[in-house]
Amino acid sequence: MNMPAKVDVDEATIEMLGALTLGDPDLLAAGLEVRAEFQAKSGLDARSYALVKLAAIMALDAPPASYLWQVANAIDAGATPEDLVGVLIAIAPQIGGPKLVAAAPELMVALGLSLPDGQ
């Protein structure tokens, strides 16, 4: 196992990482503003924008927290659980079986569902 290299990290970087780790409300608010700006620039309505972003995190095999955030955004924007599954089915040929199988339980958890026995 490799040990992390000792690097010099400036104070501003340490503070930023600490604030992100703690979920600093000011940083999160700034992120939401950027999200709204990007949505406006995309020309997509809020629902479509949220579903496209959901497809992206599925394709990237994103961590569970990403699913919690994006599924909540999609539902808030008017998407249904059926829409979320539809996105997964629509992109299945592009992302492949392993990512499809990895995304399905993440969707279940983000929707507050219990995983099937054996998971």
Domain that holds residue 14: 10-43
Q: Are residues 59 and 108 in the same domain?
A: yes
Domain for residue 5, yes or no? no
Could you tell me if 35 and 63 lie in one domain? Answer: no
Predicted pLDDT at 8: 85
Q: How many domains does the chain have?
A: 2
Burial class of residue 80, CB neighbours in 10 A (0-12, 13-18, 19+): exposed
Task: Report the residue count for the chain.
Answer: 119
Q: Does 27 reside within a domain?
A: yes
pLDDT digits (tens, 9 = 90+) for 9-53: 889 888 877 877 766 667 666 666 777 788 888 899 999 999 999
- Please tell me the pTM assigned to this model: 0.71
Are both 67 and 104 inside the same structural domain?
yes
- Give the Å distances, CA to CA, from 117 to 85, 91, 102, 105, 114: 20, 26, 16, 12, 9
- Looking up tokens 């992390």 gives 4
Does residue 77 sit in the same domain as residue 98? Answer: yes
